[in-house]
Amino acid sequence: MTESELERKLNSVGKSCFVKYYNLFKSYAEHNITKLECINALVVNLVSNCNGAAIRCSNAKKIFEKNMQKKALNIILTSNRIDNEIKEIANNILENSSFKEAV
């Protein structure tokens, strides 16, 4: 996945959403929960409707499948439009997670 493709996927998920629901998306990508469970979690938390949640889950899963989550978090940290609270959460994820290197 190129950096521009990653940016498009990340924008489809929403940068703040990717950070706030990082563990949910990771669980879905690792097959620990179903797509329906991922979608329902976003809908219940009023992140988006079913269709929007499905798009977010699918794009987030692709980021994880390509092992681009570290790069995505770094993009979020350098974004000018993300508030400091989200950046702090993203930084904590980076510090407390182990990542496989993307190929």
Given a cut of 70, whether residue 102 has pLDDT beyond it is no
Task: State CA 11 to chain mean position distance.
Answer: 10
User: What is the residue whose two structure tokens read 């980076």?
Assistant: 94
The 10s digit of each residue's pLDDT in 40-56 is 999 999 999 999 999 99
- Distance in angstroms (rounded) separating the CA atoms of residues 18 and 59: 10
First to last CA, the chain: 9
Taking the CA atoms of 64, 70, 71 and 74 in sequence, report the sign of the dihedral they define.
positive
- Could you tell me which residues come within 8 angstroms of residue 62 by beta carbon, excluding any fewer than 6 positions away? 1, 9
Contact (CB, 8 A) for 75 and 9: no
Tokens of residue 61, six digits:
């899963």
* pLDDT, position 100: 59
pTM assigned to the model = 0.91
Given a cut of 50, whether residue 13 has pLDDT beyond it is yes
The 10s digit of each residue's pLDDT in 67-82 is 999 999 999 999 999 9
Distances (CA, A) of 89 to 75, 80, 101: 13, 16, 21
